[in-house]
Structure 1
Amino acid sequence: MNTSPIFEHIKKHGQVRDAEIAVALGLGLAKVRSSLSDLSARGHISCCNVTRYQDGKPIEEILCRVSGYIPPAAPGRKPT
């Protein structure tokens, strides 16, 4: 398995945007996107392109999460 800081950040924080990873790890956005495409090609993460609007301007981003991860069920009553 990969132990890159980007992969570890995604694993720790769940679904995150590429810009959030870049800020949190102090890396350039181009380097983060390159690493994300490499991790995705190897099947470690799942990515999708999203468009977010800030002040009416579209911002293209990559949203990613660890592949095959299913979060545990929430505690409490279950439907019958």
Structure 2
Amino acid sequence: MTKEVVLKYLQKHGQKIDHEIVKDTGIDLKELRKTISELQSKNLIQTCTIIQHGAKGKLVEGIQCRIAGYTPPAAPGRKAPAAPPQ
């Protein structure tokens, strides 16, 4: 069940760091990281390790995740592509 929750969350919210996923879904960090590893091994998500500056200059290491091969729909109001030169 955790896998489905994580996949739906990433599809709805896009690229997120593991600490944000934990905060928004209530899943335990240790369980989430195990789930992330499983999803990555099945090529359902892509990940990278990042280090951010947290509160009071403390470094926070996390895993950034996104759905593999997912392209979100175009935002409303985008301009049409440029016409080829004549």
TM-score norm. by structure 1 comes to: 0.86
State the Cα RMSD in Å.
1.5
The share of aligned pairs that are identical, in percent, is 33
* Bigger helix share: 2
Structure 1 or 2: larger strand share?
1
**TM-score, normalised with respect to structure 2:** 0.80
Stretches of 4+ aligned residues off by more than 4 angstroms: none
Give the deviation of 1:70 after TM superposition.
Answer: 2.4
Which structure has the larger Rg? 2
Give the number of aligned pairs. Answer: 78
1:2-42 CA-to-partner distances (Å, cap 9, x unmatched) read x6111110111110110111111111111111101110010
Unaligned segments of structure 2, at least 5 residues: none
1:20 alignment counterpart = 20
CA distance in 2, matches of 1:23, 1:42: 25
